[in-house]
Amino acid sequence: MKWKDQLSDMQLDVLKEIGNIGAGNAATALSNLIEKNVGIEVPKVHVVDLSDIYKVLNDPEEISASTIVPVKGDIPGKMLMIFDSESAKELISFLIGQKPEDLTELNEMQSSVLKEIGNIMCSSYITALSNFTSFFMEPDVPMLVIDMFGAVIAETSILASEEYDDVIMVENILRIKNGKDVSGFLTLFPQHGSLKKLFSKLGIS
């Protein structure tokens, strides 16, 4: 089954608009967390075949940092915030002044920072979806996974209640004052029927 065969351009525009709202919420939360001005742009929503992940990513076999947040409520599923290796290292360096050489050897504080940022990003998007639709949605306990980008995407897709051959990816660019721009992907794994229920609520078939 493929999302791209089911989602219209209007539906993708709605997901992008909700992404912009979520990004605004996340930017405020991150700015308060690090006491620096943070801006977040959502340039595009991608629907990508799992076999074509390499077209969006520089290297799907690169080690990445992924925060996985289960979603409970009326629109259940899973949400991931994924940063590639360099972006994850830049975030850690900017926030705590320690740039790790290897993501697979993070200490507790470095891991905690990445998980919290990913949790803020995912939770902000979940809140935006909930407010936009008036559905009850609640993030569950987040988990940080350090692994190859492609492997995380594929495994999470398989663990979803219904397997899809493609994935919805909301691109995010974080602009931190006095820091480098950092890019990441907010990735949606809605359970069977969740998106249909959401679009029906919005009157978009």
Question: What pLDDT, on the 0 to 100 scale, is given for residue 67?
Answer: 93
**Domains in the chain, please, with CATH?**
3-202 (3.40.1550.10)
Which pLDDT tens digit goes with each residue over 78-133?
888 999 888 899 888 888 888 898 989 999 999 999 999 999 999 998 998 888 88
Token pair in block for residue 175: 């602009």
Token pair in block for residue 187: 């990735």
pLDDT average, residue stretch 10-16 = 81
Is residue 60 over pLDDT 70?
Answer: no
Token pair in block for residue 69: 């947040």
CA-to-CA distance for 11 and 195, rounded, in angstroms? 10
Question: What pLDDT, on the 0 to 100 scale, is given for residue 161?
Answer: 47
Is residue 63 over pLDDT 50?
Answer: yes
Give this prediction's pTM.
Answer: 0.85
Which pLDDT tens digit goes with each residue over 166-185?
678 888 999 887 777 888 88
Count Cα neighbours of 157 within 13 Å in the Cβ-side half-sphere.
Answer: 22
**Residue keyed to tokens 């947040």:** 69
Question: What pLDDT, on the 0 to 100 scale, is given for residue 164?
Answer: 58
pLDDT average, residue stretch 40-47 = 83
Question: What pLDDT, on the 0 to 100 scale, is given for residue 57?
Answer: 64
Question: What pLDDT, on the 0 to 100 scale, is given for residue 159?
Answer: 58
Question: What pLDDT, on the 0 to 100 scale, is given for residue 150?
Answer: 75
CA-to-CA distance for 44 and 169, rounded, in angstroms? 8
Structure-model confidence comparison of residues 54 and 97, the more confident one: 97
Which pLDDT tens digit goes with each residue over 122-166?
999 899 888 888 889 999 999 999 988 777 877 776 655 455 566
